[in-house]
Amino acid sequence: MRTVKTLLAGDHFVRNELLAGALSSLDDVSFDFREVTLPWPLTPYGRVAEVDEASDAEDQLIEALSGVEIAITQMGPFTERVLAAAPDLRLLVVCRGGPVNVNVPAAINRGIVVASTPGRNAVAAAEHAVALMMGALRNLPRLQRTLEQGEWRSDLYAYDECGLELDGSTVGLVGYGAIGQRVARVMLAFGAHVLVADPFIDIAPEGIELVELDDLLRRSDVVSLHARLTDQTRGMIGADQIALMPRGAVLVNTARGGLLDYDATVDALESGQLGAAAFDVFPAEPVPAGARLLTAPNVVMTPHLAGATRQTAHRAGSIAAEAVAAYLAGKDPVGLVSA
């Protein structure tokens, strides 16, 4: 039986014991585990050298990688410096949708196979998007605050104050990947009419209408963003796009803060062009003290936690183990990343 020296660089969400348990289920291989526990999420991630969204732990990784063939991490900073100190590394699995914390060209140039774990948080993120959408439609934070302040605001039953239903509404989804598809199914179950704008989709399932982005914005009572952040999508929703939306519409972003102009969004909330908004992601994280968004009306916010479920952590370990099994069998893993 082959023994593979493997580094588990987990954290306080995707724990090393979860990764070890998933790998230990593989047949015909044993693992010599070396472990590093990174501080995320107790300590926020940030930019480390040339990579993004990583724990500042280059020295820890360098010390642990000697002789290691396989490494699995979520937030480890696999920079040029770290990779240069890992001549035996052949497979790097990142327990995320994409390896933003890896210098992918440097890894590939060194003959290292890089894989991610696509879909690990799709269920959690889709459910969270729906929860935020409903919270914004019914203005749940405002209602809770009235009770916390000792008020019983039956006047909020007034026509001009009460919220909207999903049933019969038009919901526009910008992006139709794993998360957008799950949100669409839930919206259909609620009785909403679903529009999708995604240049990579040619045919949509029955009940879903494919449209151009401007058409989606003009027709949607609720717009929810599920696109990846690229050079092409950065800032794709700004003042001009928000102005196309029906007055009083709801805007939801659980994808990436860079997709949206938040100053324009606050302007629209203050003017009433947007009736409400809900966000799990922001242009700067943490949100700076004094940011206009913190005092904008009719906003539901969570601190980038859409993917935070225990099932997501276990799923990340399972998908990582599948990638390792494929690599050991001489096959391309799911989530294979190219330069």
> Quick one: 114 and 127 in the same domain?
no
Torsion of CA 65, 66, 71, 76, to 10 degrees: 10
- Of 16, 6, 4, 113, the C-alpha closest to 316 is 16
> Quick one: 143 and 235 in the same domain?
yes
- The predicted pLDDT at position 339 comes to 58
**What range defines the domain where residue 23 resides?**
2-120+309-337
> Quick one: 91 and 147 in the same domain?
no
**66-98 pLDDT, tens digit each:** 999 999 999 999 999 999 999 999 999 999 988
- The predicted pLDDT at position 275 comes to 97
CATH number at residue 180: 3.40.50.720
As annotated, the active-site residues are 256, 285, 304
Q: How far apart are CA 141 and CA 138, in angstroms?
A: 9
Q: Give the number of other Cβ atoms within 10 Å of residue 329's Cβ.
A: 10
> Quick one: 116 and 130 in the same domain?
no
Q: How far apart are CA 10 and CA 37, in angstroms?
A: 5
Mean pLDDT across the stretch 122-136?
98
pLDDT-based confidence at residue 125 (cuts at 50, 70, 90): very high
**18-29 pLDDT, tens digit each:** 999 999 999 999
Please give the tally of structural domains in the chain. 2
> Quick one: 297 and 316 in the same domain?
no
263-281 in b/e burial notation, b at 16+ Cβ within 10 A? ebbbbbbeeebbbbbbbbb
> Quick one: 331 and 293 in the same domain?
no
pTM: 0.91
> Quick one: 152 and 178 in the same domain?
yes
End-to-end Cα spacing for the chain: 33
Q: How far apart are CA 78 and CA 50, in angstroms?
A: 9
**169-226 pLDDT, tens digit each:** 999 999 999 999 999 999 999 999 999 999 999 998 899 999 999 999 999 999 999 9
pLDDT-based confidence at residue 334 (cuts at 50, 70, 90): confident
**Residue reference for tokens 């593979």:** 4
**6-51 pLDDT, tens digit each:** 999 999 999 999 999 999 999 999 999 999 999 999 999 999 999 9
Pairing of strands 113-116, 336-337: antiparallel
Residue 179 dihedral angles phi and psi, to the nearest 5°: -75, -50
> Quick one: 101 and 88 in the same domain?
yes
Residue 326 dihedral angles phi and psi, to the nearest 5°: -65, -45
How many helices (H) and strands (E) would you count in the chain?
Answer: 11, 15
- The predicted pLDDT at position 179 comes to 96
> Quick one: 98 and 127 in the same domain?
no
> Quick one: 85 and 156 in the same domain?
no
- Of 313, 187, 156, the C-alpha closest to 252 is 187
Q: How far apart are CA 130 and CA 256, in angstroms?
A: 16
Q: Give the number of other Cβ atoms within 10 Å of residue 62's Cβ.
A: 16
> Quick one: 288 and 325 in the same domain?
no
Question: Taking 70 as the threshold, does the pLDDT of residue 149 lie above it?
Answer: yes
Helical (H) or strand (E) element with 264: helix 262-271
Q: How far apart are CA 162 and CA 298, in angstroms?
A: 12
- The predicted pLDDT at position 159 comes to 93
Using CA of residue 57, residue 117, residue 201, residue 219, what is the dihedral sign?
negative
- What mean pLDDT is reported for the chain? 96
Beta bridge partners of 173: 196, 224
- The predicted pLDDT at position 272 comes to 97
Q: How far apart are CA 281 and CA 248, in angstroms?
A: 22
> Quick one: 149 and 258 in the same domain?
yes
Question: Taking 80 as the threshold, does the pLDDT of residue 338 lie above it?
Answer: no
